[in-house]
Structure 1
Amino acid sequence: MEPVDTDFDYVARQSQARDTKSRFNWLYLFPALGVVWLLLLLAAATFQFSITDVVNPVMTIMVVLFFLMVGFLFWAMAPQGKR
């Protein structure tokens, strides 16, 4: 008799062979937020509206996002252990 091949075996192998580079996709969030900030600054310079009330909170958010980016980098570069 020949051994029976099951789909479960193939599915289990595919889930372990996950692409570890996909964790770096979360880092695309940060340049996108930077582009939005630059568009706001460009609009303020072009249309001459005041953004003095917005600058302080946005700078605070950028400092927080910097620490989040560092955390995401450590998470994305961490080796995956097989469990």
Structure 2
Amino acid sequence: MEPIDTDLEYTTSGSRELNFRSRFNWLYIIPTLGLIWLAYIIAAVVFQWPVSGIVDPLMVFMLVVFFAFVILLFWAMAPKENR
């Protein structure tokens, strides 16, 4: 006997519809890092923490994040194969 069609689950094997703006969601990490830095500076002012030891490593980190932002921006705006 053949199985009844209602017992089988069919799945689509075709490509799913992609949201072209989904690549830009990775760029939300940049303002998040900025808000974390701003919260740290405000906390340093309120609680009188020394920030001189963190400034040099943070400037290097900010340069790396800037170049990562540029790379992510070019990646997010790259032409898609469906266009």
Gap regions ≥5 residues in structure 1? 1-5
How far residue 7 of structure 1 moved from its aligned partner, in angstroms, is: 4.0
Higher fraction of helix: 1
Q: Provide the aligned C-alpha RMSD in A.
A: 1.4
Question: Given the two structures, how large is their TM-score scaled by the length of structure 2?
Answer: 0.80
Partners of 2:55 and 2:14 in 1: CA distance: 50
Question: Given the two structures, how large is their TM-score scaled by the length of structure 1?
Answer: 0.80
Gap regions ≥5 residues in structure 2? 1-9
Q: How many residues align?
A: 73
From the CA coordinates, give the structure whose radius of gyration is larger.
2
Provide the identity percentage. 42
Query: In the TM superposition, what are the counterparts of 1:1-83 in structure 2 within 5 Å?
Result: 7-8=11-12, 11-14=13-16, 17-82=17-82
